[in-house]
């Protein structure tokens, strides 16, 4: 399957709102292929030349529902600078990931979120948890993993897992107050 900007399911298509179902473990060859292709999309989308050639929008994550497959599969590749000013990359091909704990502290991206399935901009803060713990199976390491994420990486995981419930980022924006004061929030 070729995944590109033309084949990504957009928010004008109600199927992107379908709930995703858990997959059977160990993963079938079909599910492994889906995860690998989504992961490759994310990797290629950040390479300007490949992105232009293959018609890819830049992404840090993609979930299977965005390619028309209602399964709990997602691929993420997030590059960040850690507290020691070192670049760190979080890369996962996750099956059946679930959030097992959330911080009380909130976080949001100052410039808002975007999504491959949402071509137009939506102004406003998407207030999420600043830290989350996610458990699931990771095809990249071929094992069950526990991910403790903070900040931007935590936001990315929450965004992708929202897709499993048919939720898009702008569903979290209050149209009456799109940029509320959020005391104590981590602003990224």
Could you give the residue numbers annotated as active site? 160
Contact call for residues 98 and 76 (beta carbons, < 8 A): no
CA 63 to each of CA 103, 174, 175, 187: distance values in angstroms, whole numbers, following the listed order: 23, 24, 26, 25
In the numeric block, the tokens 């590749």 are attached to 77
| 8 Å CB contact between 45 and 58 | yes
In contact, 81 and 87? CB cutoff 8 Å: yes
Comparing CA positions, the residue from 8, 145, 151, 123 lying closest to residue 66 is 8
Using DSSP's 3-state secondary structure scheme, residue 132 falls into strand
- C-alpha dihedral sign at 83, 131, 70, 10: negative
3-state secondary structure 30-66: HHHHHHHHHHHHHHHHCCHHHHHHHCCCCCCEEEHHH
Helices (H) then strands (E): counts for the chain:
3, 8
């Amino acid at each position: 399957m070729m995944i590109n900007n033309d084949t990504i399911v957009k928010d004008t298509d109600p199927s992107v709102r379908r709930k995703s179902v858990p997959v059977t473990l160990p993963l079938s060859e079909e599910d492994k292929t889906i995860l690998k292709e989504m992961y490759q999309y994310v990797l290629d989308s950040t390479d300007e030349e490949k992105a232009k050639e293959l018609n890819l929008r830049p992404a840090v994550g993609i979930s299977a529902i965005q390619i028309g497959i209602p399964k709990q599969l997602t691929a993420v590749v997030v590059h960040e600078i850690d507290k020691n000013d070192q670049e760190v990359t979080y890369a996962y091909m996750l099956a059946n990931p679930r959030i097992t704990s959330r911080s009380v502290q909130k976080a949001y991206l100052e410039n808002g979120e975007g999504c491959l399935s949402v071509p137009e901009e939506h102004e406003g803060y998407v207030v999420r948890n600043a830290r989350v713990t996610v458990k699931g199976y990771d095809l990249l390491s071929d094992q069950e993993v526990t991910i403790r994420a903070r900040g931007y990486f935590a936001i990315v995981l929450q965004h992708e897992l929202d897709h499993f419930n048919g939720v898009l980022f702008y569903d979290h924006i209050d149209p009456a107050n799109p940029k509320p004061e959020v005391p104590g929030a981590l602003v990224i």
